[in-house]
Structure 1
Amino acid sequence: MTNSTTMDRVQLGVTGPLVGRIGLGGMSMSGAYGASDEAQSIATVHAALDSGATLIDTGDFYGFGHNEMLLGRALSDRPREDYLLSVKFGGLRGPDNSWGGFDGRPAAVRNFLGYSLQRLGVDYIDVYRPARLDPNVPIEETIGAIAEMVEAGYVRYIGLSEVGAETIRRAATIHPIADLQIEYSLISRGIEREILPTTRELGIGITAYGVLSRGLLSDSLRTRPDFDPGDFRAHSPRFQGDNLTSNLRLVEALAAIAETRGATVAQLAIAWVLSRGADIVPIIGARTPQRWSESAAALDIRLTEDEIAEIEAAVPAEQVAGERYATAQMAMLDSER
């Protein structure tokens, strides 16, 4: 079955592929925010493709490989040319769900890639990227190893994730970089200072995750639900105590604007990111077809400059309470140095 709806497409950077204007992220389908339903997850993948989306993002460490195997099943009856797979690699985890850092050694690149190809059931990955910077391995060595896999036909394009401007420049000297995947939303705007100007100078696209700030910028958390212990948000500073109370006040201000537009909070948050430029492709972590449909409807919202100013005044990034990750994880982010 081919795409039944034509979604606008944009190019990932000056050297990357054409992709649907928004993409689908798979992390939420593999336990990051509590239990999920496999049938609903597969239906969501199909709904995204049928709406004209083409880019599907995953990580080999999502659910210890569960997400890649899930996507492999979901995509098994779809023509390979109908979708592009973006895969992050290198995250090290223990059987107790602990983190052990990131491995960007050339030998590890080849190892991780082999496992991903097998789990996904494909012959090549469209965009392959280290999930984080390995502080013990020069980025030039990691990118060089991926470039060898491009030459061998196992990878089509190279991407980066959560790295800063200096690392981006160094990586780009080794091989063309299609895109940088990084958190970007109304309440996570740090890339605007140095990283976004750098990617634009170098012709590198942005695939933005966390566009809804893990559900904060939506209607789903306005009633302050309890988080499952396995839910990422149960341990995230922005969702704790007074921080959550403060952040939900910002959400209420956004909700008032959304109501005047006949939109949901999530749709307005996505529309704002879309308004930041055609070089920025939001990755939406929907796990039901209904959530995907709601998100995709944001493509029909065109914000005026006055509306953008009103939104940004209602949700000032500097008033957001709490970091986007816990302290130990923030320390792993080259993009925050």
Structure 2
Amino acid sequence: MAGKVPRMKLGSQGLEVSSQGLGCMGMSSFYGPPKPDSDMITLIHHAIASGVTLFDTSDIYGPFTNEILLGKALQGGMRDKVELATKFGLTFADGKREIKGDPAYVRAACQASLNRLGIDCIDLYYQHRIDTRVPIEVTVGELKKLVEDGKIKYIGLSEASASTIRRAHAVHPITAVQIEWSLWTRDCEEDIIPTCRELGIGIVAYSPLGRGFFGSGPKMVSELSDQDFRKMIPRFKPENLEKNAVAFERVNALAAKKGCTAAQLALAWVHHQGPDVCPIPGTTKIKNFNQNIGALSVKLSPEEMAELESCAGLVQGNRYPSMANTWKDSETPPLSSWKAQV
């Protein structure tokens, strides 16, 4: 099975990864109870054998337990077969979420992630959310030092606005921007995607299956555990779900004509956005993983792409319960304001 997934250049700084990655969040948190380590390690090893090399985690997944899981899975010579991406910047303290991007925190978070992963250097290190109190130049300035120190190879941003991306890139080249992008989440196409392409920044699409919706449709929602964060998403609320079910049925009908699943069709649509896009669908099941890999061989004509997009245009509801802390709210103060403080 090795080599089944082709390689791609992610960004213009030299990073090469598999053209489809594996999002690891759901193994440990947010999507219901944590899954057994032994099962997830088996899945990770299966993914590597299939040619997937980009594994996406974060210190907030668990928190911390997902990085520890990946560290375990990559023991015994697996480390040199993968590109590891993790993130910093989101913290939970006393039940409250806080976003941090100050230099001392950046450095401490990086070292803690290295320790949990059991590695010397992180391949791709993202700022998970933008700290709107700290100029982006200050945060990226510290990340640049971490590159110079050999602790990280490449710098990424997640959920950052076009202007934030530009300011960051002027301090040190940004290799990748991670953004939610799928058939039903397309607002990033207006400013963020063109900015990334202008600057030679790779695009990593998270939740390319609409948080699993394009895998099994509306019935998925009734099967979610009480611990599943998706129960809070407006698109999955009853008032929107009925309309979104219509979109799923239309995508499903197109998939039947095409001889693939709705999930494969939705994922193929993301792959067809360009050679600079790497989707990272997450799963905890080998069967679903194999299905996702199958999306790489689904070819879509411009007419089929347009038909798919018209189906998904029916979608109702926001992608988060609150749109705060997404790229729409990621502007940071000017650098001069920070100099005044310090």
Identity of aligned residues (%): 42
Whether the 8 Å CA contact 2:217–2:248 is kept in 1: the answer is no
Aligned residue for 1:234?
A: 231
Whether the 8 Å CA contact 1:25–1:283 is kept in 2: the answer is yes
Q: Does 1:24 align with 2:22?
A: yes
Distance 1:277 1:54 in 2: 19
Distance 1:211 1:15 in 2: 24
Aligned residue for 1:210?
A: 207
1:81 shift after superposition: 2.0
Q: Does 1:331 align with 2:324?
A: yes
Q: Give the letter aligned to residue 161 of structure 2.
A: G
Aligned residue for 1:77?
A: 76
Whether the 8 Å CA contact 1:91–1:99 is kept in 2: the answer is no
Task: Give SS of 2:284's match.
Answer: coil
Alignment of 1:43-192 (within 5 A): 43-94=42-93, 98-192=95-189
Q: Give the letter aligned to residue 320 of structure 1.
A: V
Q: Give the letter aligned to residue 285 of structure 1.
A: G
Whether the 8 Å CA contact 2:218–2:241 is kept in 1: the answer is no
Q: Alpha carbons of 1:186 and 1:336: their partners in 2 closer, same or farther (altered >3 Å)? A: farther
1:227 shift after superposition: 2.4
1:336 shift after superposition: 5.5
Q: C-alpha offsets along residues 154-178 of structure 1, whole Å, 9 cap, x if unaligned?
A: 0000011000100000000000110
Q: C-alpha offsets along residues 223-279 of structure 1, whole Å, 9 cap, x if unaligned?
A: 642422210111111111121111111001100000111111110010000000011
Whether the 8 Å CA contact 1:55–1:84 is kept in 2: the answer is yes
Distance 1:248 1:40 in 2: 31
Distance 2:177 2:220 in 1: 34
RMSD over aligned Cα atoms: 1.4
Task: Give SS of 2:250's match.
Answer: helix
Whether the 8 Å CA contact 1:43–1:288 is kept in 2: the answer is no
Distance 1:100 1:131 in 2: 13
Whether the 8 Å CA contact 1:88–1:131 is kept in 2: the answer is yes
Q: Alpha carbons of 1:82 and 1:260: their partners in 2 closer, same or farther (altered >3 Å)? A: same
Whether the 8 Å CA contact 2:213–2:220 is kept in 1: the answer is no
Aligned residue for 1:5?
A: 3
Task: Give SS of 2:64's match.
Answer: helix
Whether the 8 Å CA contact 1:5–1:51 is kept in 2: the answer is yes
Q: Alpha carbons of 1:117 and 1:223: their partners in 2 closer, same or farther (altered >3 Å)? A: closer
Whether the 8 Å CA contact 2:5–2:293 is kept in 1: the answer is no
Distance 1:223 1:159 in 2: 32
Distance 2:296 2:329 in 1: 30
Q: Give the letter aligned to residue 302 of structure 2.
A: E
1:113 shift after superposition: 0.6
Distance 1:223 1:179 in 2: 31
Q: Does 1:39 align with 2:51?
A: no
Deviates further, 293-302 or 39-48: 39-48
Distance 1:99 1:55 in 2: 31
Whether the 8 Å CA contact 2:89–2:130 is kept in 1: the answer is no
Q: Which runs of 5 or more residues in structure 2 are unaligned? A: 331-342
Distance 1:60 1:224 in 2: 27
Q: Give the letter aligned to residue 276 of structure 1.
A: Q
Instruction: Tell me how many residue pairs correspond in the alignment.
Output: 329
Distance 2:240 2:199 in 1: 37
Q: C-alpha offsets along residues 59-106 of structure 1, whole Å, 9 cap, x if unaligned?
A: 1010110100011111112332210111111111136xx342210000
Distance 1:189 1:336 in 2: 17
Q: Give the letter aligned to residue 25 of structure 1.
A: G
Aligned residue for 2:338?
A: none
Q: Alpha carbons of 1:176 and 1:40: their partners in 2 closer, same or farther (altered >3 Å)? A: same
Task: Give SS of 1:173's match.
Answer: helix
Task: Give SS of 2:265's match.
Answer: helix
Whether the 8 Å CA contact 1:216–1:248 is kept in 2: the answer is no
TM normalised by structure 2 equals 0.93
Q: Give the letter aligned to residue 42 of structure 1.
A: I
1:311 shift after superposition: 0.9
Q: Alpha carbons of 1:59 and 1:99: their partners in 2 closer, same or farther (altered >3 Å)? A: farther
Aligned residue for 1:314?
A: 311
Aligned residue for 1:296?
A: 293
